[in-house]
Amino acid sequence: MSVTRPLGAVSALAAAAVVLAACGSADAADPAPADGAQTISFSWDRNVAGEDEDPVYEPTTVEVPVEPETIVVFDMASLDTIGALGGEVAGAPLESVPDYLREHLADDAFNAGTLFEADLLEIEAHQPDLIVIGGRSAGLWEDLNAIAPTVDLSISGTFEETLERNTTFLGEVLGAQDEAAAALEELQAGIEEARAVTADAGTGLGLMVSGGELSALAPTHGEATGRNARGGLIYDVFGVTPVVEDVEAATHGEPVTFEFLLEHDPDYLWVVDRDTATGAEGAQAAAAVLDNEIVHRTTAYQEDQIVYLDPVAWYIVFGGITTTQLMIDDVLSIAG
């Protein structure tokens, strides 16, 4: 049995959204950890409106058991962080787990559905202690929370706020607080190092290539959501100076042309190959799409400054401890 729900949205939350004191449950029928089990609380604002309705947010708190034995994860960034902190995942949408994160799955890990649909019967049969959702799977909360305590770790606030909030929370859940703190310190140092490199790199343009078309990525200007956060990462997190001050206005939110690249001529092109990230069959690789006479006239091409970012890290996962380090390494690659 599968169920599909519209994707939910979450409002901005600070890292303090992880509440370590007990709070009321969102619903009296919500599952609760076993009597006497140590728990922590996680709170967020959940969109309870329908798919075509204006968002309506409801404060939601879920009690989560500490050191759960059986964890089901629909959010790949959370799977990354759980594994990096020494945890193991019993169930996930197996076809969507990137190769570099598969080591964090149990040897007998079961398929929990897809990023958009949950196999409720399969999940219930394994009696999980904790379910983690986020992004594409946020709309599954109601059905999954009826099975086991379910938390939504979608992007909330800035990328770095979300990284700190989720890593800190999962560290508390797994009893790996010290490891979580050390990982965050190392990642923040890496981000600062990357920013120092981009500060001297001139202008840049984030570019997504899909279906042979180009889309210019825009900064979020502090208003990151699950939908636009991945586009703004190169500017918002890593400090790249946009070649166009208002990318969204300059492009009208539409695909851009090769002539657009030549006209604005950024020093660097930061390219995400969406088709490679999603495994689109028969798609032309981004490097092939950009191999043409017009692009050859750009500064980025002539100076060998077209950077092909890890497509899975930047488009599918874009979060988690290991993945953030992959992003850092991509940016540091221009340092020579």
Q: Is the residue at 192 inside a domain?
A: no
Q: Is the residue at 223 inside a domain?
A: yes
What pTM value is reported for the model? 0.86
Q: What percent of the chain has a predicted confidence (pLDDT) above 90?
A: 71
Nearest to 90 by CA among 127, 121, 120, 41: 127
Domain count, the chain: 2
Q: Are residues 171 and 227 in the same domain?
A: no
145, 175, 205 - which closes a domain: 175
Q: Is the residue at 191 inside a domain?
A: no
72 near 128, Cβ under 8 Å? Answer: yes
Q: Are residues 36 and 125 in the same domain?
A: yes
Q: Are residues 145 and 8 in the same domain?
A: yes
155 near 12, Cβ under 8 Å? Answer: no
Per-residue pLDDT of 174-231, as tens digits, reads: 999 999 999 999 999 999 999 999 999 999 999 999 999 999 998 877 666 555 677 7
Domain limits for position 246: 197-335
Q: Are residues 240 and 295 in the same domain?
A: yes
**DSSP symbols for 177-229:** HHHHHHHHHHHHHHHHHHHHHHTTS-EEEEEEEETTEEEE----TT---TTTH
CATH value at residue 38: 3.40.50.1980
Per-residue pLDDT of 237-264, as tens digits, reads: 999 999 988 887 777 667 899 999 999 9
3-state DSSP helix/strand/coil % of the chain, to nearest 5: 40, 20, 40
Q: Which residue carries 């006497």 as its tokens?
A: 36
